[in-house]
């Protein structure tokens, strides 16, 4: 293996071992009726054998318990938010999510210092998201507000150069050409519904999860739709795999009146998400100032497949993604990997 590969594996081990140790504690040492969740997601084109375009992203997410019944914080402010949503019904489960993340985008040739006119701009996006998710037995509606910053203040340049220093790799040289600072605002709605579910009395199960959504803002504006097919053993009744994208509330569990987290399970999945794109700041350039841009494709799709393995309240998910060409002069699509660790408590 290369030194790059060894470093990635070391970082994963350092992150996984402490969480794994806690997850192995006896069930009676934790609240059996708790349903909150922490997730850490890491996406990188290293897993696809490249270092370009959508090159890296991290995201930390906290999913609350059902805020209708939770007697602990954030019961007060969570309930106030939920009461203002017109779709609220007494028979719905309601969860809040808080997310913090950072995305990085680079052209193909990161050794060049000069502007590469026919390739995408360097860009970073650092953001904070607040989501409200209402779930029934087979449906999930997600409403998400995201605020953040694009440009040097996102600190994406510093993050990427720091990682390259850690792995003794030649650093990217063209960040002086990145997009200018611009605040970002996104409003996202997305609906998932679980259909064709095999009988729930068997530990082996399969389901199909279509989804559709709309995102509006100066960073992204698009409509999306797709589906995910799953098959596995003793896996939670959630709404799909946790990829990094606006409205990604799939870690919320379907409402059933109670929650049972399996001691061991696994699920294999494959899916597609297609987007009709009106705006993508990372290709179109800054909204209010002149900047580098390329001619984007108006229709882009992600095709993906992966697996989740469950041990007590710990889940490991790896997803391999193929993204179709995002702009006119792009030389083929892009492969990247997505790795998520989640802990339910």
pLDDT one-digit tens code per residue, 114-157? 999 999 999 999 999 999 999 888 899 999 999 999 999 999 99
Domain segments of the chain: what residues?
Answer: 3-344
Residues 6+ apart with CB under 8 A from 100: 59, 60, 127, 128, 129
Kindly report which listed range (8-12, 62-66, 167-171, 237-241) carries the lowest average pLDDT score.
8-12
Averaged pLDDT for residues 85-101: 75
Minimal CA–CA distance to 312: which of 261, 246, 236, 250? 261
Q: What is the pLDDT of residues 210-234, one digit of tens each?
A: 999 999 999 999 999 999 999 999 8
Does the pLDDT at position 91 exceed 90?
A: no
Task: Give the phi and the psi of residue 122 in degrees, each rounded to 5.
Answer: -65, 140
User: Residue 95's beta-bridge partner residues?
Assistant: 133
**Which fold does the domain 3-344 belong to in CATH?**
Lipocalin (2.40.128)
Neighbours of 71 (CB within 10 A): 6
pLDDT for res 78: 53
Mean pLDDT of the chain: 83
CA distance 332 to 328: 10
Contact 252/191 with Cβ under 8 angstroms? Answer: no
Q: Calculate Rg over the CA atoms of the chain.
A: 20
Of 35 and 76, which is predicted with more confidence?
A: 35
The token duo for 27 is 């069930």
Alpha-carbon torsion angle 274, 278, 281, 284, nearest 10: 110
CA triple 96-100-106, angle to 5 deg = 140
Choose among 216, 208, 223: nearest CA to 270.
Answer: 208
CA 53 to chain centre: 17
Between 248 and 323, the more confident residue is 323
């Amino acid at each position: 293996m290369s030194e790059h590969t060894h470093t990635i594996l070391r970082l994963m081990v350092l992150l996984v071992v402490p969480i794994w140790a806690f997850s192995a504690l006896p069930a009676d040492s934790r609240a059996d009726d708790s349903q909150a969740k922490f997730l850490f997601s890491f996406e990188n084109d290293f897993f696809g054998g490249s270092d370009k375009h959508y090159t890296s992203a991290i995201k930390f997410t906290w999913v609350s318990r059902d805020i209708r019944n939770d007697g602990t914080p954030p019961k007060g402010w969570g309930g106030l938010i939920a009461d203002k949503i017109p779709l609220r019904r007494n028979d719905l489960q309601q969860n809040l999510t808080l997310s913090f993340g950072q995305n990085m985008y680079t052209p193909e040739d990161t050794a060049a210092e000069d502007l590469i006119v026919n390739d995408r701009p360097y860009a970073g996006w650092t953001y904070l998201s607040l989501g409200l998710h209402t779930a029934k037995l087979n449906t999930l509606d997600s409403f998400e507000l995201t605020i953040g910053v694009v440009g040097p203040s996102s600190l994406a340049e510093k993050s990427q150069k720091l990682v390259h220093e850690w792995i003794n790799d030649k650093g990217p040289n063209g960040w002086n050409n990145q997009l200018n600072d611009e605040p970002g605002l996104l409003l996202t709605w997305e609906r998932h519904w679980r259909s064709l579910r095999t009988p729930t009395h068997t530990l082996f199960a399969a389901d199909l999860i279509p989804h559709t959504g709309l995102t509006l803002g100066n960073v992204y504006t698009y409509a999306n739709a797709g589906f995910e097919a799953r098959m596995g053993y003793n896996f939670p009744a959630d709404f799909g795999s946790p990829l990094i994208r606006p409205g990604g509330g799939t870690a919320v569990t379907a409402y059933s009146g109670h929650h049972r987290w399996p001691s061991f399970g696994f699920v294999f999945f494959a899916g597609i998400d297609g987007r009709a794109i009106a705006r993508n700041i990372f290709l179109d350039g800054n909204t209010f100032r002149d900047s580098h841009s390329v001619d984007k494709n108006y229709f882009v799709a992600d095709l993906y497949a992966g697996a989740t393995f469950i041990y007590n309240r710990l889940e490991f998910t790896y997803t391999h993604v193929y993204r179709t060409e995002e702009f006119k002069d792009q030389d083929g699509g892009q492969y990247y990997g997505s790795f998520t660790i989640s802990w339910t408590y």
